[in-house]
């Protein structure tokens, strides 16, 4: 495994998934650190508060996705995991929410299409919360597939099966208390066949680990082997539809012990990706 620092995203990159005036307005509104100065905050809502470290972190989070796309497209890496915060999948085109300011995975997906001319990209989201922002950004874009498992009902309240976009969205909601077999069934029966059929040129993963049994924010019961399993299944499809090109990014996960173990299980599976050469 090669570790790289995440570069800052450019306004041009962010403007691929968000209106440029929104990007510029947010960057102007987020507090800058002042040496020796007081901590300052910008509260968007009760969950979503920027501190003086947030602007740089948010820029590096989205920048990581673009740099990871570059590394995979250049053949410098077979796949990549972006260990970033703040997360992104709740951020809509002009509305930060749910700890998210810019939609990192949407920026990465839009960047892959714009920079490399990829025709079809897919985003798979197994965070326990529905990726409402990602769905909203791409719901009218048939060239982007979005497949999500999430607890339902739960914040943010979207993600019902009937939300199909233009046929490019597959939501597989899971009832509170659902565990490994329900999760694997949802993937095997709904998400993976649709992903396979869509046959993307690049696959992104919104990897939130807050569906873990120990997570305090929700009530699904997944464990590390489930994250390893789903990662392998996605890689198996990636190997035959897109030469294994996968970029994964951290979304949620709020029990720090199980977040670390789950992310390690996910990255271990990414490192063991099937050889496509």
Q: Which residues bind Zn ion (CB under 5 A)?
A: 127, 129, 208, 210, 252
Residue closer to Zn ion by CB (options 35, 257) is 257
The rounded distance, in Å, linking the Cα atoms of 47 and 108 is 24
CA distances, 121 to each of 17, 82, 271 (Å): 14, 18, 21
- Residue placing its CB nearer to Zn ion in the complex, 92 or 127: 127
Residue whose CB is less far from Zn ion, 117 or 216: 216
SS (HEC) of 233-254: HHHHHHHHHCCCCEEEEECCCC
- The residues, any chain, with a CB within 8 Å of residue 156's CB and separated by 6 or more, are 90, 97, 98, 129, 130, 132
Tell me the closest approach of the beta carbon of residue 191 to Zn ion, in angstroms: 17
Instruction: Judge contact between 96 and 58, C-beta under 8 A.
Output: no
Taking the complex as a whole, how short is the minimal distance between the CB of residue 157 and Zn ion, in angstroms?
Answer: 13
- Between 244 and 252, CB nearer to Zn ion: 252
Q: Shortest approach of Zn ion to residue 254 CB, angstroms?
A: 8
* Alpha carbons 166 and 160: distance in angstroms, whole number: 15
Which residue numbers are catalytic?
A: 90
Sign of CA dihedral 163, 152, 146, 92: positive
Residues in contact with 52: Cβ distance below 8 Å, sequence separation at least 6, in sequence order: 31, 32, 33, 34, 39, 40
- Residues 27, 52: Cα–Cα separation, whole Å: 12
For the CB of residue 88, give the shortest distance to Zn ion in the complex, in Å: 11
Residue 96, Cβ density class (10 Å: 0-12 exposed, 13-18 middle, ≥19 buried) = buried
What's the rounded Cα separation, in Å, for the pair 6 and 57?
9
Q: How far apart are CA 109 and CA 16, in angstroms?
A: 9
Closer residue to Zn ion (CB): 86 or 200? 86
Q: Which is nearer to Zn ion, 18 or 150 (CB)?
A: 150
Query: Which ranges in 74-169 belong to alpha helices (H)?
Result: 104-116, 132-138
């Amino acid at each position: 495994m090669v570790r790289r620092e995440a570069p800052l995203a450019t306004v041009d990159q962010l403007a691929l998934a968000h209106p440029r005036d929104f990007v510029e307005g947010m960057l102007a509104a987020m507090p800058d650190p002042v040496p020796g100065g007081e901590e300052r905050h910008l509260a968007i809502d009760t969950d979503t508060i920027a501190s003086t470290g947030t602007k740089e972190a948010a820029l590096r989070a989205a920048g990581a996705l673009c740099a990871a796309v570059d590394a995979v497209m250049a053949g410098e890496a077979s796949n990549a995991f972006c260990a970033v915060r703040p997360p992104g999948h709740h951020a809509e085109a002009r509305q930060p929410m749910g700890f998210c300011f810019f939609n990192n995975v949407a920026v990465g997906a839009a960047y892959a299409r714009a920079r490399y001319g990829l025709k079809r990209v897919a985003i798979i989201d197994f965070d326990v919360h529905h990726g409402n922002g990602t769905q909203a950004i791409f719901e009218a874009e048939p060239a982007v597939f979005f497949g999500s498992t999430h607890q339902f009902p739960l914040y943010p309240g979207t993600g019902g099966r009937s939300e199909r976009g233009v046929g490019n969205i597959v939501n597989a909601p899971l009832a509170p208390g659902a565990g490994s077999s329900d999760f694997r069934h949802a993937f095997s029966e709904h998400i993976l066949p649709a992903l396979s059929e869509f046959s993307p040129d690049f696959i992104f993963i919104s990897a939130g680990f807050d569906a873990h049994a120990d997570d305090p924010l929700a009530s699904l019961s997944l464990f590390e082997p489930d994250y390893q399993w789903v990662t392998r299944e996605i890689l198996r499809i990636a190997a035959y539809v897109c030469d294994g090109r996968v970029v994964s990014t951290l979304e949620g996960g709020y029990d720090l012990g199980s977040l670390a173990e789950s992310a390690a299980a996910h990255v271990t599976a990414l490192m063991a990706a099937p050889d496509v050469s």
